[in-house]
Amino acid sequence: MVTRAELEAREGATLAPYATLSQDTRGREYPEAESATRTAFQKDRDRVLHTTAFRRLEAKTQVFLNASGDHYRTRLTHTLEVQQVARSVALTLGLNETLAETIALAHDLGHPPFGHAGERVLNDLMEVHGGFDHNAQARRIVTLLEFRRPDVPGLNLTLDTLDGLNKHDRADLGRPSLEAQVVDAADALAYTAHDLDDGLRSGLITPDQLATLPLWQALTQRAELRSTTITDSERRSLHRELLGWLITDLSVTSDASIRASGITGAPDARAQPRNLITYSDSMRELLRDTATFLQQNLYRHWRVEMQVEQATRVLTTLFHALVGRPSMLPPLYQRWATERGTHRAVCDYIAGMTDRYALDIHASLTPPGSATPWPR
């Protein structure tokens, strides 16, 4: 058997000097004995994987509603793609791939049903009650809402993993670890690549629309694709080519950035004035243009806008109905309503719903043929 001490020794011998080592973890809020055969970050990863919140990602929207088709990305498949990219880049750079993997698996736990549309709706509904942000909700889930033991709130993850989930309010925290920076970059990489792929698969965006996009022009040249129409096989090949291109650019540029910084340890990375994990200037420009294209042509497509309207009606109805009658909440959330405030308890309950569950609960409150009970 390989012991935890041996695994930690391997990290020390093989990882880069600026990687976050398991043996140097900043510990947990509630002290506990560590495993004899797993590192602290391996324990964190396993705890995230076994949460209810992680399982629910399977039925939460990425761009297309979960019921739109079996082949579109869900919040879970997006998370797994981020995990794969983050692990690959971390390995290439000599960083702690287990920590990067753990942060990637946890980074979207806080997403509500119906994707970013659901997040905007909940933030508006909670405007005078603290707002709603999926990054903050992910941390709330792992520190409070999920629990392993009755005497300890949350999952009691290491402070290193929790820090990786802090995307905002970092004034007193410094930069995130290099592993957390890798996850942030991998997140943008993954959704750019797969949203293009899903948009093409769905027909909401076409090769003709993409013809003037600089990233698409460069990509088709790299793949030696000259046709103005593409087959499913060519679309898949382009997706693979794009992933490889983005991952290589991110890895090569970040390696040069780290070397140029002169850092010699993990604390040095957090003290830098800017993130060291980055793309080349030319790639950043291509990604900015692509993000604008996707915003205008996919995320605001009339069919997607209809889904946004559906999300708005469903979540607004549920929120006001449950706030007005908190006795409809499950017992645990009724207790939390008393302890933490009704609005926040209702928000936590709704944010944890899958698309299907939110639609089912909404249907039970609005029988067929009745008008949607908009709040007055």
Of 279, 302, 325, the position where a domain reaches its end is 302
Whether residue 15 is contained in a domain is answered as yes
Count of structural domains, the chain: 2
- Interatomic CA distance for residues 292 and 102, integer angstroms: 30
Q: Give me the pLDDT at residue 374, please.
A: 46
Instruction: Name the pTM for this structure.
Output: 0.93
Regarding whether 293 and 322 lie in a shared domain, the answer is no
> In this structure, are 289 and 333 located in the same domain?
no
**How do residues 7-42 score in pLDDT, each as one tens digit?**
999 999 999 999 999 999 999 999 999 999 999 999
3-class DSSP assignment, residue 245:
helix
* CA separation for the pair 251, 265 (Å, rounded): 19
User: Is residue 255 domain-shared with residue 313, that is, in the same domain?
Assistant: no
Q: Three-state DSSP class for 79? A: helix
Q: Which tokens hold the place of 165?
A: 């989930």
Q: Which of 302, 331, 350 is at the close of a domain?
A: 302
Per-residue pLDDT of the chain (376 residues; tens, 9 = 90+): 999 999 999 999 999 999 999 999 999 999 999 999 999 999 999 999 999 999 999 999 877 554 455 557 899 999 999 999 999 999 999 999 999 999 999 999 999 999 889 999 999 999 999 999 999 999 999 999 998 888 899 999 999 999 999 976 677 788 999 999 999 999 999 999 999 999 999 899 999 999 999 999 999 999 988 777 889 999 999 999 999 999 999 999 999 999 999 999 999 999 999 999 999 999 999 999 999 999 999 988 998 888 889 999 999 999 999 999 999 999 999 999 999 999 999 999 999 999 999 999 999 988 666 555 444 3
Is 375 inside any structural domain? no
* Domain-ending residue, one of 260, 283, 302: 302
Range of the domain at 93: 4-302
38: helix, strand or coil: coil
The reply to whether 118 and 265 lie within a common domain is: yes
**Cβ neighbours of 154 (radius 10 Å):** 20
Does residue 258 share a domain with residue 355? no
**How far is Cα of residue 214 from the mean position of the Cα atoms in its chain?**
26
- What percent of the chain is helix, strand and coil (3-state, nearest 5)? 65, 0, 35
Name the token pair of 59: 């039925």
Which domain CATH number covers 58?
1.10.3210.10
Adjacent-strand bridge partners of 63? none
Residue with tokens 């998370």: 79
Please tell me whether residues 181 and 225 are part of one structural domain: yes
